[in-house]
Amino acid sequence: MRQTLIFLVAMIVLQSAAASVRKDPSLTLRGVGLGSSPVEIVKAFGKPPVEHRSAADLESGMGQLMELVYDGLKFDLCKPQGQTEFHVWRLIVTGPDWLLEPGIKVGMSRDEARRVLGAPSSASKQKETGRETLHYMFSAFDGWYWVSVAKGTVVEIGAAEDWS
């Protein structure tokens, strides 16, 4: 009886430890996500309908900036000083046609998104819009991701490197 009780307690402790070690979701679309190049984006999605280039951001060190915009999907890229390639530093999904790995998309319920991503690090609510944002932190690198919800439905999903 005592051995059974010790075994059960050990199993509960191990399950709790495993649950607390969360693997970062990839948050990729067709294999494209944070760190991807413009070539990878165009290969996966075709030429973007909208492309913007901005002056270099010298203050934060992001260098030259570029946006590649598709219907319901935006990739923000930077080319830090000393680098030869642009890479995705932020992606924002607002359209329901895009399924992000690990299985989340705009239009799903708040509860479904939480089932996939787990409990958020924090949450905030905008009084004027009633929109709630669930905030998550990446554990493998300095960045974050979020899920914005309106009336119980996901309306935006995003991820970003931390350049602050």
β-partners of residue 133 are 124, 148
Q: Kindly report, residue by residue over 75-94, the tens digit of the pLDDT.
A: 999 999 889 999 999 999 99
Q: Torsion angle, CA of 9/12/14/20, rounded to 10 degrees?
A: -140
Residue 58 one-letter amino acid: L
Q: Nearest CA to 88 among 126, 37, 27?
A: 37
Domains in the chain, please, with CATH?
A: 24-161 (3.40.33.10)
Listing DSSP states for 27-45 in one string gives -BBTTB-TT--HHHHHHHH
Q: Kindly report, residue by residue over 117-136, the tens digit of the pLDDT.
A: 999 999 999 988 889 999 99
Q: How far apart are CA 94 and CA 148, in angstroms?
A: 10
Phi, psi angle pair for 59, to nearest 5°: -65, -45
**pTM metric for this prediction:** 0.83
Contacts of 66 (CB under 8 A, 6+ apart): 38, 51, 52, 53, 54, 76, 77, 78, 79, 86
pLDDT tier at 22, thresholds 50, 70, 90? low
3-class SS at 111?
helix
Q: How far apart are CA 5 and CA 1, in angstroms?
A: 6
DSSP conformational letter for 164: -
Phi, psi angle pair for 94, to nearest 5°: -125, -5
Q: Kindly report, residue by residue over 55-72, the tens digit of the pLDDT.
A: 877 778 899 999 999 999
DSSP conformational letter for 140: S
